[in-house]
Structure 1
Amino acid sequence: MTGTPRIVVLAGGVGGSRFVLGVRGALRARGIHNTAAALTVVVNTGDDIWLSGVRLQPDVDSITYALAGVNDAERGWGRQGDTERVNHELQEWGAGWPWFTLGDLDLGTHLARTGWLREGLTPTDVLERMSHRWDLGARLLPMTDSEVDTVVVLDDGARLHFQEWWTRHRATLAPERFENPGIEAAAAAPGVAEAIAAADVVLLAPSNPVVSIGPILAVPGVREALRATRAPVVGVSPIIGGKVVRGMADVCLTAIGVETSATAVAGLYGARGNGGLLDAWLLAEEDEAVAHEVAGLGIRPLVRPLWMTDAARQTALGEAALAAAGV
């Protein structure tokens, strides 16, 4: 195609941030310097939480920091070179969670966000204001302006915030299901549906399909927008060789009765021709043998290298995803 493509990425978590970096890198490699005019990222806010009086948005911050080049790439979250003096002081007061670290620079972000929210700004407004600090090369939108934090319901009926289940217990407590209370009454954030409708390609990042992409798709109107868009919808498998790349997505998939495999996750999203979402699905080279299974679902399989271990591989995957859509 000619001109600047309009790309929408649905993303969350470390996999999402690396993939977004790759898409931006692919655009720059094509000579598109104003990537912010081309790239819109709809970010999961289902793992947001109030803690110690401030509003945390882990996926929003991970993607913002990654695009700004200030993220702690080794840990996968937080700011590079951050300190934890305030966090230690909070623990001395018995405030917050001793197993949930708030870096000092990171806490500055949370305090700024909370102040703006209390002044009446929406999460969309806040994210736009945050984006002015750095040249992110993308427009970031929260999935919704409503608070729809993720709750994990355990087999014994106990209910935990997702962050406690994920960070404190490392997903070792058996989940029965995941809920986002209030999401049925939520609406997509301003600009989300419009960006999807106007897109030349929509990409589903290789993020956790249950707790990162799942909440975005659960916002009323988002699935409908994806099914209605004339743009190809291309997903990237978060499963390589039958295993998760990072985190505990396998535990999440098992909880909802989905096998940890590239084929099963493609089936979870479904083929757009059969009422689902996907037109094409990028599989890892390690999963080439099951490409025919994906094709049998009515989804076009494309076997590509999926490991994002450095900037070059991230950019190569971003280019592969764009090429899969003919962009």
Structure 2
Amino acid sequence: MLTLISGGTGGPKLLQGLIESISQDEISVIVNTGEDLKVSGLHVSPDLDTVVYTLAGIIDDEKWYGIKGDSFSGHEMLQKLGQDEILKIGDTDRAVKLYRTLRMENEATLSQVTEEICKGLGVRAKVKPMSDDRVETRIITEEGEMSFHEFWVVEGAEVNVTDVNFLMSDRASPAPGVIETLDESDSIVIGPSNPITSLGPILSIKGIRKALERNREKILAVSPVVGDSPVSGPTGVLMDGMGHEVSPLGVARIYKDFVGHFMLHEEDEKFSSEIEDIGLNVHLEDILMPDLPKRRELSRKILRVLDYQ
């Protein structure tokens, strides 16, 4: 079994390539839920939905959010009536979120509902939220404290970050099966996700970081930074605000205790020796994934490095 630890963009892009190389039945995905929120009364799990829609083959892979070809009549009517929504939710996507909300109001856990949604959409991979308990990512900035979506969607990450907190993580437990999945996997992959707000909430859950540390030698992470620039999203702003060097070396320093193999872009060889000095095995490849052929190619390279048959 291969397990992917995923946020909402870099992980799903890689996942799109992986499912063309190995069967979904061999794949588990542990997903960040630190960005979950309520929108118009709905329980929205952005990263979970992106992973599930990717596996179902219906993801809008231009935005990496929502369902391809979805309509937005509901969202537009709500706006007309004066109901603002921080996220633009499509009509079919809204139905999935409504189902989740109704089931959770009837005391189903997030794990149970995710399994039901996967079954309904024909997804065979095992998709697990990091926790069934609420964990909320809060971005501390010079403009004040805000949610991740206020920081990213409303402010466009154009504020100075001073800290990031994961509220209630000290009381949250790993979702059922998460620790067993990590321990029993033949290989674990961390996609080119934001190390602060995509991976950080997962690591904040008691027991998950320790499970990763004891499985370090079978873990490969793909750098979300090429040179001094993040591949996508607010990675650079967040790393800089948290005092980390915005480079593959800066990411490697964050990962060094729980990652055995680190894949850098082929043009970043200058970072190799310092990363190897802190104990990671370096692999140089073209890690950019602008399209499906490149995602498929990178997934095959990762499987070769991990000797995953």
TM-score (norm 1): 0.91
Pairing 1:165–2:151 present: yes
> Cα offset for 1:231?
5.5
Aligned to 1:3: none
Alignment equivalent of 1:306, drawn from 275, 287, 290: 287
Mapping 1:1-327, distance limit 5 Å: 6-27=1-22, 33=23, 35-36=24-25, 38-97=26-85, 99-156=86-143, 158-229=144-215, 232-270=218-256, 276-327=257-308
Does the 8 A contact of 2:216 with 2:258 survive in 1?
no
**CA deviation map 1:37-87 (0-9, x unaligned):** x11100000111011111000101111111111111112211111111111
Partner deviation per Cα, 1:272-326 (whole Å, 9 max, x = no partner): xxxx111110011121222112111111100011011222221221122222222
CA distance in 2 between counterparts of 1:230 and 1:150 reads 25
Matched residue type, 1:259: E
| CA distance in 1: counterparts of 2:18 and 2:136, whole angstroms | 28
The one-letter amino acid of 2:35's match is D
Residues 288 and 136 from structure 1, CA distance in 2 versus in 1: closer, same or farther, beyond 3 angstroms?
A: farther
Unaligned ranges ≥5, structure 1: 1-5, 28-32, 271-275
Provide, for residues 176-227 of structure 1, a one-character-per-residue CA deviation record: whole Å limited to 9, x for no partner: 1111210011011001000001111111111111100111111110011111
- 2:42–2:101 CA contact under 8 A, matched in 1: yes
Code of the residue aligned with 1:286 in structure 2: it is E
Where 1:150 maps in the other structure, the secondary structure is strand
Measure how far apart 1:169 and its partner are. Answer: 0.8
Q: For 1:137 and 1:311, locate their aligned partners in 2 and report how far apart those are by CA, in whole Å.
A: 20
| Distance in 2 of aligned mates of 1:150 and 1:230 | 25
State the one-letter code of the partner of 2:187: V
* CA distance in structure 2 between the aligned counterparts of 1:183 and 1:82, rounded to whole angstroms: 34
Q: Is the CA contact 2:6–2:32 (under 8 Å) kept in the aligned structure 1?
A: yes
Report the residue type matching 2:172 in the other structure: A
Report the Cα distance in structure 1 between the residues aligned to 2:138 and 2:82, rounded to whole angstroms.
24
Alpha-carbon deviation of 1:103? Answer: 1.2
C-alpha distance in 2 between matches for 1:260 and 1:137: 37
Q: Secondary structure at the match of 1:286?
A: coil
Q: Distance in 2 between matches of 1:23 and 1:88?
A: 36
Aligned-residue CA RMSD in angstroms? 1.4
CA distance 1:225–1:298, shift in 2 (3 Å):
same
- Which runs of at least 4 in structure 1 moved beyond 4 Å after TM superposition? none
Opposite residue 57 of structure 1, the aligned amino acid is S
Counterpart code for 1:15: G
Identity of aligned residues (%): 30
Tell me if the contact between 1:237 and 1:284 (Cα under 8 Å) persists in the aligned partners: yes
| In 2, Cα distance between equivalents of 1:94 and 1:144 | 34
What is the rounded CA distance, in whole Å, between the counterparts of 2:56 and 2:84 in structure 1? 27
Alpha-carbon separation, structure 2, partners of 1:245 and 1:208:
9
Q: Deviations over 1:91-130 (max 9, x none)?
A: 2332243x53111111111111100100111000010001
The amino acid that maps onto 2:18 is V
Q: Which moved more, 1:88-97 or 1:188-197?
A: 88-97
Give the Cα separation in 1 of the matches to 2:146 and 2:125: 33
Q: Indicate conservation of the 8 Å contact 1:26/1:316, yes or no.
A: no
Deviation by residue 1:9-49 (Cα, 9 ceiling, x = unmatched) = 1111111101112222221xxxxx4x32x111000001110
Distance 1:137 1:284, change over 3 A: farther
- Residues 10 and 135 (structure 1), Cα distance of their counterparts in 2 relative to 1, 3 Å cut: same
Report which stretch shifted further, 136-145 or 224-233.
224-233
Residue pair 2:139, 2:151 contacting (<8 A) in 1 also: yes
